[in-house]
A and B are shown apart, each in its own frame.
Chain A
């Protein structure tokens, strides 16, 4: 026993190293599963508020770009005003309200923490459960798809950006309407992603628009990027290609969180169908 104690005190550096290292790795491992909300991240009150303060100062530097962007948005919206349309029939106006049921709602949020140069990049935004944001909602900007909400606190949420190892969702070629899966490329370039598992029947051309498909969390047709390179590693039955992203992630300022109002109905229905199938079996 005494010898053991002497041994431990002699090599105390090594044993302390083991204890702390295991502690750190346990924390890291726990967080890796991504579902377990953790105390140590930028949604907690202290770091979240520090980032919010810092972002307030930082916003002044990009006021000009934001102003340009707003002016552009205003022009686009003005073009959609009722007064800018010529109403050709009365009938069209009457059915207008009942034919269309609003499916998507957008909540605007400000990016307060962002990174593009890590293997797994996340974005923190300044809206949380108070604003009705929930996990697994899609996030877009006026340029295109940004990511998916993975963690929500009262006032902040964390978005898994497209530049993340685990991001993969359904996308399609705009002209062919052929679906594939979009992923971040291995070379960690924040401007390029990969569209993989595209059926061989598709005939993509360089410069073709890649948009969110109808099977994704995002409204169909939200742009993701343009095909920039077709000669990436081909894997037998499927085509792979490089896509230049339309969103400049390093300059992200404002994003929109997409609320799909029919989502609950859809998942409930699918769940019900699954249950019935199980009963038959």
Chain B
């Protein structure tokens, strides 16, 4: 819950004003959905994703846009975890953080999910084929930026738990 509030506040007040050459806009708040525990029931996951999206929408004045992208993100997350993770081994370490899962797995996980989320988000926002070139540039650069920020956050905040 604390993580949710912090990520949304950072997104809305800090990252909303940050942009590189008006092309790259990071959406770090989706980290909240990425870091939900493995064992979470599907319905709760979708509900939380939907609410997260709606909260960010309220601040960005785009009702439904982020919510739709977050629901897609939750769906891709379920598929990805089903394919790559054996569920039995994770009773005591229930969260897919960088320190628990290792760099390679987390990097693939974060990249694929971010790409899906951003692709859907940018295309739904613009919704026109004629501007596809700019949309794609924005989508690619923003995704790189977001994944970069996620990795930094992972290194900064989730290492300590491992050492305890």
Chain A residues in contact with chain B, CB under 8 A? 12-14, 16-17, 19-21, 23-31, 38-42, 44, 46-47, 50-51, 54, 113, 115-120, 122, 124, 158, 186-190
Contact = CB atoms under 8 A, between A and B. Distances in A.
A115 B134 contact: no
A189 B42 CA distance: 41
18 contacts: A12-B43, A17-B46, A17-B74, A19-B46, A21-B72, A28-B63, A28-B64, A40-B58, A40-B64, A41-B63, A44-B58, A47-B59, A120-B62, A120-B125, A122-B61, A186-B130, A186-B131, A188-B138
Interface stretch (B49-57, B95-103, B145-153): B49-57
Contact of B53 (A24, A29, A116, A124): A24
A41 to B, nearest CB: 5
B66 to A, nearest CB: 8
B61 A116 contact: no
Contacts of A40: 54, 57-58, 63-64
A51 B60 CA distance: 11
A88 to B, nearest CB: 52
A55 to B, nearest CB: 10
Q: What secondary structure prevails in chain B residues at the interface with A?
A: helix
A186 to B, nearest CB: 6
Given A24-B50, A24-B53, A31 B58 contact: no
Contact of B59 (A21, A27, A42, A118): A42
Interface string B19-39: 100100100000000000000
> Contact size class for B?
35 or more
Contacts of A19: 46
Contacts of A24: 50, 53, 64-65, 67-68, 70-71
A24 B56 CA distance: 13
B46 A189 contact: no
B63 A16 contact: no
A40 B54 CA distance: 8
Interface in B92-132: 124-126, 130-131
Given A42-B59, A187-B134, A25 B68 contact: yes
Contacts of B134: 186-188
Contacts of A41: 58, 61, 63
In the complex, the 6 A-B pairs of residues with the closest C-beta atoms, listed nearest first:
A28-B64, A27-B64, A24-B68, A24-B67, A40-B63, A17-B75
Given A29-B64, A44-B58, A47-B59, A119 B71 contact: no
Contacts of B124: 28
